[in-house]
Structure 1
């Protein structure tokens, strides 16, 4: 990695950390409050907020759940600004240059696809470098909502408690997010998938 790429990665980590800190403060929570909810140290939360430590996908999902905000909120506030500035016909438009991307641990990239924050729904694209995975170690993860995903490029393996499912381009899957799972790219090429997480299925 070049010095320029390292500097850019550091800036992206700082941006994500700053967003998480702002969201925590908006909720009126102290570092200790959030750390207690997550079951981790105050130091770990502080390092994430300062951009020193990149959270895993699992940790990020746990943080937004603890903060009671949708995943889309960690990118920036521009989506909400666009929503409030909807056209007279009611649509909201986001150009490709306006779409925020967040890099997480293991090089996994999340890119919001919804042009505005949509209540009860997170719609995003995730890019998985070869050998990357979602989660910490070999642990299976859970979070809130109901997940629908489609692989666009490459291959992803989703491990559940009793079996594994391998998805290739065009394959789709859906499952409750509270079912323990782990997503990994065991291939030798980049994998890209789109995901819809529905938080209110009543």
Structure 2
């Protein structure tokens, strides 16, 4: 089972000076919004938002989507990717994948589908030992999720029931179910994760 993590301020200092936090802060400045305004719209604390902007804390998926919605920006803008002109609407070469490093959550997500494909989204998740989606289960209002474990062992909790998914095993479930997931053991876990509709 994944170790319990705080819902507010993680004990680990992330020091994410070039990633999510500074990009959110830049977008907030462009929009001319205060920390208080964004926090109120996203329904997160001002303190947490400030720590996220300063690169000292990483938001949950739910909080990240809420903050981006408050800033009227797609979450996809936070993914790193090579700037090589107009992307192909069908093919995403390996070297062109956009990457989101979730820092203290111990997870890196690589987008494997083009941005224009909103009906479905495929990601490659690399979960470091001890890495997890968070201590609180979450869900989405519609759609489905499926995937396969390429290496390592994935711990997956669905509606309070824990599943151990080993390399070569696959899974599928409705996105409305409450989930948490994490890397089990001492090895890195690599997962191909598919969601419908796209969430980033």
Q: Distance in 2 between matches of 1:79 and 1:122?
A: 21
Please, which of 160, 165, 168 is the counterpart of residue 167 of structure 1? 165
Q: Distance in 2 between matches of 1:140 and 1:19?
A: 26
SS in 2 for 1:133: coil
How far off is 1:28 after superposition? 7.4
Q: Distance in 2 between matches of 1:157 and 1:197?
A: 18
Q: Distance in 2 between matches of 1:33 and 1:78?
A: 32
Between Structure 1 and Structure 2, the one with more helix by share is 1
Q: Distance in 2 between matches of 1:189 and 1:76?
A: 25
Q: Is the CA contact (8 Å cut-off) linking 2:131 and 2:183 kept in structure 1?
A: yes
Q: Which residue of 1 aligns with 2:147?
A: 149
Q: CA RMSD in A?
A: 3.2
Q: Which residue of 2 aligns with 1:186?
A: 184
Mapping 1:107-146, distance limit 5 Å: 107-135=106-134, 137=135, 139-146=136-143
1:19-59 Cα shifts (integer Å, max 9, x gaps): 33455567776533432243321232122123232234453
How far off is 1:181 after superposition? 0.8
Structure 2: gaps of 5 or more residues: 1-13
How far off is 1:113 after superposition? 1.7
Mapping 1:83-102, distance limit 5 Å: 83=87, 86=88, 91-96=90-95, 98-102=96-100
How far off is 1:190 after superposition? 0.6
SS in 1 for 2:24: helix
Q: Is the CA contact (8 Å cut-off) linking 1:94 and 1:115 kept in structure 2?
A: no
> Does structure 1 residue 14 correspond to structure 2 residue 13?
no
Count how many residue pairs are aligned between Structure 1 and Structure 2: 183
How far off is 1:60 after superposition? 2.9
Please, what TM-score do these two structures have when normalized by structure 1?
0.71
How far off is 1:154 after superposition? 0.8
